[in-house]
Amino acid sequence: MTTTRLLIVRHGETDWARDRRHTGRTDIALNETGRAQAAALAGHLPLAGVSQVWSSPLARAADTARLAGLAVDRVDDDLLEWDYGAAEGRTTAELRAEHEGWDVWTNGVRMLGGGGEAVDEVGDRVDRVIARATAIPGTVALVAHAHLLRVLTARWLHQPAAFGRHLTLDPAGWAILAWERETPVIDRWNPPKP
């Protein structure tokens, strides 16, 4: 049985996140608020026992790690945000004006045309991350993106990827995924900001 824990950290705010635009693979930088949020994490993350820090290759995640005082050991493409295809840069409200009741978790992005990933494909990617991370003793910190980390948490709990719809994670929010005996659990989720 593994005892590896995961410290998951969402990147700070970007202009698109503030405006609630689907921000997948577009490399949007942290805005001023996001930089301040990331810097505020420094000294406030539970880093005891962290043996590795992994980051998405996108600047908003890498910059959050740096500003939070985390030295990245591995840049991992499997930590990229959901590929939203034709939904990229658009809000749910805009998409619902064209497709009544549309929801990324239930309808996905392929119905919009323009490719993208199905939620279960995101689940497959995070399953690979979990498998690699649980082979490392201690705590592995993962700095990535909102939907990706929500799917990762769902899969940690052995739930379908779409269970991530029931979880929210604020910009620069964090959580600890751990174990109660042999059962994977959420130890802490989205604690108040310092």
pLDDT exceeds cutoff 90 at 163 = yes
pLDDT at 89: 95
**Can you state the percent helix, strand and coil of the chain, rounding each to 5?**
40, 20, 40
pLDDT at 3: 84
* Spatial CA neighbour of 28 closest among 4, 74, 3, 64: 64
Rounded distance, CA 30 to CA 12, Å? Answer: 6
Rounded distance, CA 123 to CA 120, Å? Answer: 5
* Annotated active-site residue in 11, 22, 145, 147: 11
The tens digit of pLDDT for each residue in 116-162 reads 999 999 999 999 999 999 999 999 999 999 999 999 999 999 999 99
Domains with residue ranges and CATH for the chain: 5-85+118-143+156-189 (3.40.50.1240)
* Annotated active-site residue in 13, 81, 88, 117: 81
Q: How confident is the model at residue 192 (pLDDT cuts 50, 70, 90)?
A: confident
pLDDT exceeds cutoff 90 at 1 = no
∠ Cα 188 12 154 (to 5°): 40
Read off the amino acid at residue 45: L
Stretch 92-114: mean pLDDT: 92
Task: For residue 81, indicate whether it is catalytic.
Answer: yes
- Residue 112 or residue 162, greater confidence: 162
Q: How confident is the model at residue 6 (pLDDT cuts 50, 70, 90)?
A: very high
pTM over 0.75: yes
Rounded distance, CA 41 to CA 57, Å? Answer: 20
Task: For residue 158, indicate whether it is catalytic.
Answer: no
pLDDT at 193: 73
Q: How confident is the model at residue 164 (pLDDT cuts 50, 70, 90)?
A: very high
In sequence order, which residues have a C-beta less than 8 Å from that of residue 9 and are 6 or more positions away?
Answer: 41, 45, 64, 65, 68, 70, 141, 142, 143, 144, 172, 173, 174
The tens digit of pLDDT for each residue in 25-78 reads 999 999 999 999 999 999 999 999 999 999 999 999 999 999 999 999 999 999
